[in-house]
Structure 1
């Protein structure tokens, strides 16, 4: 269906029309969900370059297309290419939207994830602390997005072997998720399972 829609838009409009670009992005998303990375990448590059030329490098649609292409690189383990795009997107978001904007924080979180996957824990931690503290200040300490940031930072502590800090932060996350989301919410259950595993690892090490 996405392929048919794209063909129709290309015939009726032009390759540079927003509806055509949107349809192209949707088809790329479908390819991504099927693991057809090369086909997704080809479309996403075209969308990003066209959006940048027609709408401008700082337009929200251009930034979204940049994030989509970075995600495709990320899912293939192409960390350096993902990092380059994510860093560029983050700087643009900061400049255009401001450091507290949700899109800026999401961009910062994505770059932190890329650092984590390269074992660059300190750089990841620096970004994750910024995201968590900003979300606490702007959204509140109990907001679901703040709790996601808290869990991410706990995993980064764990990746550095800072087990006590990781466990303490995950305990706080579990407690708040139980209060805000409920005992049986998937996020609560997942966090509790992680916490149990970490506690068991620590217990086994001590004994």
Structure 2
């Protein structure tokens, strides 16, 4: 299915810890690791009897344990030595997007007043604001900021200036988030080619565009190509920054996200994930990554929370029940709500997977339609849709997928009124985002309207009066 289970980038990154953890399990279960020997050995002498029973045991040897390298670097660096820029970078590194936006916007207003709209520093802060809005789910605002920066930087600087290419690359990611996947993929591919010629293959900006291109490939169903592109980026970051740089760890998690997306892309992939022998290897590798990040960064770090969410997502699509993924996702949700906030994008991602878990329970390869599944999944999906509605992003692919899933589940239960409600929301969202409405959605909406019209006479009256009134209408 993917290269993770067969010494891919993720395996190579943490392969030193896998054997160590396996040895520790043997020590825990058996008390020792068996050592084969061709010759017989004399049993060890009995230890001397201690008269002082409170004497402490000698501490375990630390020299024999390989030391884990501490994580170095940051995900976001300050643009200059301005204390506000340093503060904004600190907020972004902890995914406190609202605080980061507040600080960056104050810097932008000052630069706009003192330096002008065409100054490089002003444009750079505008790019930072576009990036923050995208990360926090305000896709429309991100597009406005990014378009402003892209237009001005290409006019004032040059189309091949690093900032202009960076803004164009970000616009490609925004287009994918808006549901314009083909256009976004084309933009990212073109920018990547220009960056490779202008600033080099291993420049950080080029590698960031490679991440966006990997996500774009996944969004247009070129999932294997997306995973391979993400792995190539991880290898480049390992050469450039080192295996223990936080951007390398984040790149590994980016690859895992693409793998999870592939596992859940359709019913066939979900069936393969459930029964394929390599699926357990994927879960084990993600578990190792989550434990490693938890040990290195602490459970409250955004990357630790993200890896725990990814573990729960893998468990949804590879295990037969919901006990294990439910425990994992609830731990991730509790930590995210406390340290990131209930409206943080990572928190909301966990909420979506909670809904998917309940919608999928009792069926290894599709979303089971039952009253219990719907009742358990509905609160999570409603919370997600309320969040998406507050950011005016119902026309984006993920909210549309949730709307379509709820509509289909109600339709299968023959609750035509509720199904019609969600189909209409889906159609309105597509029209608002200038996205073509699927013919299947249009047909299902017409079926719902037909059934609700036929059933409405019987709901307004009862008994013979209902029957007579229906005949009169006919």
Q: TM-score range by the shorter chain?
A: 0.7 to 0.9
Cα 1:106–1:173 change in 2 (3 A) is farther
Correspondence list, 1:1-207, <5 A: 9-10=111-112, 12-25=114-127, 28=130, 33=136, 35=138, 37=140, 40-138=142-240, 139-140=242-243, 143-155=248-260, 157-158=262-263, 159=265, 161=269, 163=273, 164=276, 165-182=278-295, 184=299, 185-201=304-320, 205=364
Which digits, 9 at most, give the CA deviation of each residue in 1:93-146, with x for residues without a partner?
Answer: 322333333332221121111221222223323313322443455533895135
Which digits, 9 at most, give the CA deviation of each residue in 1:151-186, with x for residues without a partner?
Answer: 135325524825244542342132133134338431
Unaligned runs of at least 5 residues, structure 1: none
TM-score, L = length of structure 1: 0.74
SS in 2 for 1:74: helix
Contact 2:207/2:233 (<8 A) preserved? yes
Structure 1 or 2: more helix by fraction: 1
Cα 1:6–1:135 change in 2 (3 A) is closer
Which digits, 9 at most, give the CA deviation of each residue in 1:77-97, with x for residues without a partner?
Answer: 121232222112212232233
Deviates more, 1:62-71 or 1:26-35: 26-35
User: Take 1:153 and 1:174, find their aligned partners in 2: how far apart are those partners?
Assistant: 16
Q: How many residues were matched structurally?
A: 205
User: Take 2:210 and 2:283, find their aligned partners in 1: how far apart are those partners?
Assistant: 21
Cα 1:63–1:73 change in 2 (3 A) is same
SS in 1 for 2:117: coil
Instruction: Give the deviation of 1:13 after TM superposition.
Output: 4.0
Q: Aligned-pair RMSD on alpha carbons?
A: 3.7
Cα 1:177–1:49 change in 2 (3 A) is same
Higher RCO (Cα < 8 Å, 6 or more apart): 2
Cα 1:131–1:170 change in 2 (3 A) is farther
Cα 1:22–1:123 change in 2 (3 A) is same
Cα 1:35–1:169 change in 2 (3 A) is same
TM-score, L = length of structure 2: 0.37
